[in-house]
């Protein structure tokens, strides 16, 4: 495995990373291997973030580089045998809230770690979440909020998941600027954070425990 | 029996001057949306009428026994666009959202990289009204003067209502930090890319916007007769950016603005959302008493107080989540802790972290106001009785 591509992602050398991805995949190298190297870079970014060496800015910028690499690789990945996702996550900003910045960051970071993410968007009705969970069988459901009026929608969605017999089959996460441990209790979630990377680490750890 | 010995304005200014008031001043950031909730109106009703918004805010003030200074905010969201105070697309209840939803801003890349040069050449105000506003708003050119006039009339009425209640507005002058303005206009990811990969245009524009802000906002703040003004920043802290970015793109401009206002005796109220834990020590470089730090509960206000004790006043920071889903006893306990640990020797204005949430429980709102107004006197009574 070449470290050069991974380190281009880590050091935020976007043009260089994209150039390497394009050249290598056009030369016929395995796209899954190239993707894995990009993911390796994102893992190092995550480690630096957790150590306090990197900040949200570097997470955002590296995630953009990763997205650029995936765009180039996608046609080739479609032809290759796709790797099994690490896990599945349904994400949504629920009814009453249209903010999606935090949710989008978490979605990108999860994808970079190999999760399959079903992003339902903003102002989502809880019933839509239940339908998607039935359809996809995710290990995780995550709700993001920037305003407090979304708390009741989160609670409603959690109750609907329980009524449908789905709640025990997944971990429920809540996050966003206004959430606190009290919100976790109120909603009946398994995990709460205001830190995108902490959410990703939670999913990674839970999957390792399986 | 212990009782109030200061007027609301004396109490407020004692706290701002880092002196010990008779009790902590109480100033909740009550905007029209929570006022609508507390008075049984819809979000659409207050978002579409200054008069309804103003009446709701002062109805809450009167029904909950009043407080020490009022946060100005009787506006229609569309007027914030018209007055260049919210440079983003918005969704408004009754128009784009159901009546019971609060109005919200939309994160979208509207300003493009080439616009930096336009702002540098034209200045932000001309760029905004000649070009940018029409990218984000349904307003037509002929609507703008009418909406600004309506906003000014609403402020006049706001002042009258404050005067009737013998309080002063918490501030009248208001601006968004140039750094935050650019982040909102470019949106967060593109702006971050600019900072890291093409910083020169950003720096040129920050320089120009800072100079322009001082020359336009300082006379407004001086003319208001209220020796405070509000300066909002929600995206510059170490939650988002490393110290090198903060030190290059935010702090020098901030210091320059605060110094300019302080030279005229005007105190800057920083509205600082998100976690500023790592940035708090920088505020020690500002002149003592020149700034109030309005925190939203994401910053550790207790640690911040230790760092800035005797140097800066704090405003806040009862968490929005606590006010919306907590219990009155918990609200009371949190307010007591704030008063004891942050306000013990002065320098605290008790209020909500950011604005009062629009689904605040009435009993929690009352607990915050009443604890602020009674807790220190109850302690004095206990001491006297002992």
Distance from CA of B164 to the nearest CA of A (A): 33
Q: What's the pLDDT at B384? A: 60
- Asked if the Cβ–Cβ distance from B104 to A147 is below 8 Å, we say yes
Question: Measured in Å, how far apart are chain B's first and last C-alpha atoms?
Answer: 13
| B325 with A96: Cβ contact below 8 A | no
Rounded Cα distance between B13 and A139, Å, is 54
Contact between B321 and A57 using a beta-carbon 8 Å cutoff: no
Q: Quick one: three-class SS letters along B233-288? A: ECCCCCCCCCHHHHHHHCHHHHHHHHHHHHCCCCEEEEEECCCCCCCHHHHHHCCC
User: How far are the Cα atoms of A111, B111, B123, B136, B346 from residue A104, in angstroms, in the given order?
Assistant: 11, 20, 33, 22, 42
Of B188, B189, B325, the CB nearest to A183: B325
Segment (H or E) for B314: strand B313-318
pLDDT of residue B191: 98
Residue B74 has pLDDT above 90, yes or no: no
Report yes or no: A152 at the B interface, CB cutoff 8 Å. yes
pLDDT tens readout for residues A39-88: 999 999 999 998 999 999 999 999 999 999 999 998 998 887 767 888 99
Does residue B57 surpass a pLDDT of 80?
A: yes
SS3 A152: helix
- What is the pTM assigned to this prediction? 0.94
Chain B residue with Cα closest to A178: B321
Min Cα distance A33 → chain B (Å) is 27
ipTM for this model: 0.91
For residue B383, the model assigns a pLDDT of 63
B 345-384 residues with CB < 8 A to A: 357-359
Nearest Cα to B61, choosing from B39, B46, B33? B39
Residues A182, B312, B210, B78, CA torsion sign = positive
Q: In whole numbers, what is the pLDDT of chain B averaged over residues?
A: 95
Helices first, then strands: H and E counts in chain A: 9, 5
For A24-39, what is each residue's pLDDT tens digit? 999 999 999 999 999 9
Per CB-CB distance under 8 Å, the chain A contacts of B43 are none
Per-residue pLDDT of B142-194, as tens digits, reads: 999 999 999 999 999 999 999 999 999 999 999 999 999 999 999 999 999 99
B245/B191 Cα distance (integer angstroms)? 12
pLDDT tens per residue, range B13-30: 999 999 999 999 999 999
């Amino acid at each position: 495995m070449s470290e050069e591509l991974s380190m281009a992602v880590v050091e935020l050398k976007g043009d260089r990373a994209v150039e390497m991805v394009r050249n290598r995949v056009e030369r016929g190298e395995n796209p899954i291997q190239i993707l894995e190297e990009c993911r390796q870079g994102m893992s190092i970014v995550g480690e630096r973030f957790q150590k306090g060496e990197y900040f949200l800015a570097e997470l955002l910028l590296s995630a953009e580089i990763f997205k650029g690499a995936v765009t180039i690789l996608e046609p080739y990945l479609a032809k290759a045998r796709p790797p099994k996702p690490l896990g599945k996550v349904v994400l949504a900003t629920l009814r009453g809230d249209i903010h999606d910045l935090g949710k989008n960051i978490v979605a990108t970071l999860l994808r970079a770690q190999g999760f399959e993410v079903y992003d339902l968007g903003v102002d989502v009705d809880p019933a839509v979440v239940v339908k998607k969970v039935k359809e996809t069988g995710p290990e995780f459901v995550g709700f993001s909020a920037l305003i407090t009026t979304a708390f009741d929608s989160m609670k409603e969605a959690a109750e609907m998941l329980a009524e449908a017999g789905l709640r025990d089959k997944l971990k429920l996460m809540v996050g966003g600027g206004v959430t606190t441990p009290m919100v976790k209790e109120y909603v009946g979630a398994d995990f709460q954070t205001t830190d995108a990377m902490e959410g990703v680490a939670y999913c990674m750890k839970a999957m390792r425990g399986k | 029996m212990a009782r109030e010995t200061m007027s609301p304005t004396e109490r407020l200014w004692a706290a701002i001057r880092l002196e010990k008031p008779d009790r902590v001043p109480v100033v909740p950031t009550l905007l029209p949306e929570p006022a609508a909730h507390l008075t049984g109106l819809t979000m659409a009703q207050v978002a579409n009428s200054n008069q309804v918004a103003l009446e709701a805010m002062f109805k809450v003030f009167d029904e909950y026994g009043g407080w020490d200074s009022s946060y100005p905010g009787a506006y229609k969201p569309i007027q914030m666009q018209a007055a260049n105070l919210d440079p983003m697309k918005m969704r408004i209840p009754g128009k784009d959202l159901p009546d019971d939803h609060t109005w919200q801003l939309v994160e979208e890349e509207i300003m493009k990289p080439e616009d930096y040069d336009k702002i540098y050449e034209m200045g932000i105000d001309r760029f905004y009204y000649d070009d940018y506003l029409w990218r984000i708003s349904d307003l037509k050119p002929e609507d703008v003067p009418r909406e600004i006039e309506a906003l000014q009339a609403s402020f006049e009425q706001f002042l009258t209502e404050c005067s009737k209640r013998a309080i002063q507005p918490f501030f009248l002058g208001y601006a968004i930090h140039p750094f935050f303005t650019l982040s909102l206009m470019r949106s967060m990811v593109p702006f971050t890319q600019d900072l890291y990969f093409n910083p020169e245009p950003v720096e040129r524009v920050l320089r120009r916007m800072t100079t322009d802000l001082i020359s336009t906002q300082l006379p407004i703040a001086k003319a208001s007769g209220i020796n405070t003004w509000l300066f909002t920043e929600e995206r510059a802290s170490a939650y988002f950016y490393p110290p090198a970015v903060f030190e290059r793109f935010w702090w020098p401009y901030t210091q320059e603005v605060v110094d300019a206002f302080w030279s005229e005796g005007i105190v800057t109220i920083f509205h600082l959302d998100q976690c500023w834990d790592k940035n708090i020590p920088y505020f020690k470089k500002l002149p003592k008493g020149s700034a109030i730090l309005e925190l939203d509960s994401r910053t550790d206000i207790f640690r911040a107080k230790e760092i800035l004790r005797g140097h800066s006043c704090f405003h806040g920071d009862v968490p929005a989540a606590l006010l919306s889903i907590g219990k009155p006893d918990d609200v009371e306990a949190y307010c007591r802790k704030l008063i004891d640990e942050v306000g013990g020797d002065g320098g605290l204005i008790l209020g909500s972290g950011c604005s009062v949430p629009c689904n605040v429980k009435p009993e929690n709102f009352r607990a915050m106001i009443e604890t602020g107004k009674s807790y220190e006197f109850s302690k004095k009574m206990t001491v006297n009785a002992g």
